[in-house]
Chain A
Amino acid sequence: MAVSFQQIEEKLKTEARRLLESGEVSLVLAWGKGYDEKHPMPYVAKCPSDADGIVFNEYCTHNPARYLVRYPRGTKIAVAVKAADSRAVVQLIQEDKVKRRDLVILGIPVYGIKNPKTGELIDGKTTCGLYNPVLYDVLIGEEVHGQPVSSPYAVLAEYEAMDRDARFAFWKKELDRCIRCYACRKACPMCYCDPCFIDQRKPRWGEKSPEPAGNLMYHLTRFHHLAGRCIDCGECSRACPVDIPLYLFHKKVAKDCEEMFGQAAGMSIEDKPVLVNFRMEDSDKILE
């Protein structure tokens, strides 16, 4: 990467300060200092002096787009985004949860973000694997070119080799340890339902206790609610305290959607969400 994390941080601070000083936005969503260098945290700057608190380093895994729906409609927001995060912004615009005109997108092309828990490089295995944001108003740094681009679906090979029973056994094993803390849905930029179906009492869709039936109901429904909407940032899996590889199922559904409808989630604000948009030429495979 030609531009260092330090340079990105400086540029982010400068842009945030400028936007807050000019009054173009009332808040900037980015990352700030956590309890140590390895643990930065999502950060909101609301006045020019807050901009000094912005941090950007290799552990800034969080997706600031998650916080967009928390503010009242019409709030002018600048949001700092990495590649996958920018797709969440695009998808939220497609779904009309935020307006394009209310946003200033600070796009950060980046390579080398690491999972603080495992130290592993975050790449196409657990996220969409893109380096450059798909949409931005201000480019923070320089676009990344020449790095190996891995298919976000390559990691599915092993999973797809399993038959139906093996897949069910796999998910049963993984989901059995879920403690239903809901960190996955809360970390997800696309999970904004209020209330979430699993919290509904009448009708009750799934039980509250972390037992196999309710766990399957919660996760399988959530997986499918995110069909054609998951932008593959991988935050759900990183948020999980018991390391359930949720990204695998999301990737599988995303791949199926892309194959059937020729469109990946959150790539262009001109697109409509695939499962909302009916086109005569759409594949009937979904009905099989």
Chain B
Amino acid sequence: MLKKTTVNQLSDLASALMEKGTLVAPVREDAGFQFREITDAKRVDLNFHNTVISPKSVFFPQTEDFVRYRTGRPMQEAEPVEPQGKPLILFGVRPCDVKSFEIMDIHFSGTGDVDPYWQARREAAAIIGYAFDLGAPAEPEEFYQTLGIGAADPEGSDIFMVRRGDDLLLKSITGKGEALLTGMGGLAGASADDEKFFDDTVAAGRDFKTRFTCVDAEVITKKLEDLFHNTDFWEKASNACLSCGVCTFACPTCYCFDICDETLFQQGTRRRVWDACMFTDFTLEASGHNPRTKVYQRLRQKINHKYSYHVRKYGVISCVGCGRCTRYCPVNIDIFSIVEEAMKA
């Protein structure tokens, strides 16, 4: 089903969606765009390229409480935090980020061990994807096409949006999307011409060039395995690396977390908090031993995990080419340039 509205009526669309569940959409903030829970429909803003932090934070927030307790009280009084399964609409997600959810599903529900917090939110969510603007060139940091992801791929979204001039075309992709679209007022029917435009955009999105040439995952994996002990290569690649956590935190497919007990006055919480393999204490063991004390070891781990171990273990590269790690790296390290260098090494 294809419906349409106009970008000028975006807040009406947002209001209609807010009646169906919690709406999470891009909003403009001091530091750029971020996905936020919407309380004021007028704040939804689609004039963005992509958000600073990826939408993984909607299903896997940076801080997630598991148990709340009072210090000094018996353990039986501790209260577990139940997973939240209230209807959620995630609006305006770029195709590469939509793809990241599928990769994250492997870890949070796909291997038999199910993370109830991730799963509850994921199942309760309807995803409304949004095609990149094919009229403008890709940003220099992006390389989703290299990884086989189109700029307007509707797969993975429940509803997919394409902008046509001042019109916003919305097409249901799944049954969930169809039900959502059917139940919404204020949308106009689309013409056959709109249908054609939508399909053409999806097709053109597959050929939309980002900056790297396509490479085979299996070839990269093998090459990185061969390079593991080439310390010179990894030291050179990591000379500039500050070993901070920007790349990890901005990444849509990084899923590592730490579980810690945090207390403020007597109120204690056992919670998980995002962690980053680039942090020195990520691998610090209780004995005091740290198997990855050097920056090159940590960067090597990061690259290998995404482009080598993950392929061997799960058959897919754990990267969607959104370019956030490169865009926000304080020293301009470009992750895929390192992979390209590795191919040449």
Contact = CB atoms under 8 A, between A and B. Distances in A.
Interface of A: 32, 34-36, 39-44, 62, 66-67, 70, 177, 179-183, 185-187, 194-195, 199, 207-211, 213-214, 235, 238-239, 241-244
A38 B220 CA distance: 28
Interface in B69-92: none
Interface string B225-269: 000000000001001101111101110000000101010100000
B63 A211 contact: yes
Contacts of B264: 207, 213
Contacts of B30: 177, 242-243
Contacts of A179: 53, 62, 249
Nearest to B30: A243
Given A186-B244, A208-B258, A209-B63, A40 B250 contact: no
A-B complex: 3 closest residue pairs judged by Cβ atoms? A239-B330, A186-B242, A242-B31
Nearest to A211: B63
B333 interface: yes
Nearest to A242: B31
A195 B280 CA distance: 9
B63 A183 contact: no
A186 B260 contact: no
B52 A210 contact: no
A36 B326 CA distance: 11
A238 B31 CA distance: 12
B271 interface: yes
Interface in B1-39: 29-32
A106 to B, nearest CB: 17
B242 A187 contact: yes
B316 interface: no
Given A213-B264, A239-B244, A35 B140 contact: yes
A181 B258 CA distance: 14
17 contacts: A35-B326, A35-B337, A39-B140, A177-B29, A177-B30, A181-B249, A183-B244, A185-B244, A186-B244, A187-B242, A199-B280, A199-B281, A207-B262, A208-B262, A213-B264, A243-B30, A243-B31
A43 B239 contact: yes
Given A194-B280, A208-B260, A209-B262, A41 B246 contact: no
B331 A41 contact: yes
Contacts, number: 107
B332 interface: yes
B126 interface: no
B326 to A, nearest CB: 7
A210 B63 contact: yes
B286 to A, nearest CB: 10
Contact of A34 (B32, B262, B273, B332): B332
Contacts of A243: 30-32
B328 interface: yes
Contacts of B202: none
Given A44-B239, A182-B245, A183-B245, A62 B141 contact: no
Contacts of B246: 181, 183, 239, 241
Contacts of A62: 240, 330-331
A248 to B, nearest CB: 14
A187 to B, nearest CB: 5
Nearest to A45: B239
B62 to A, nearest CB: 6
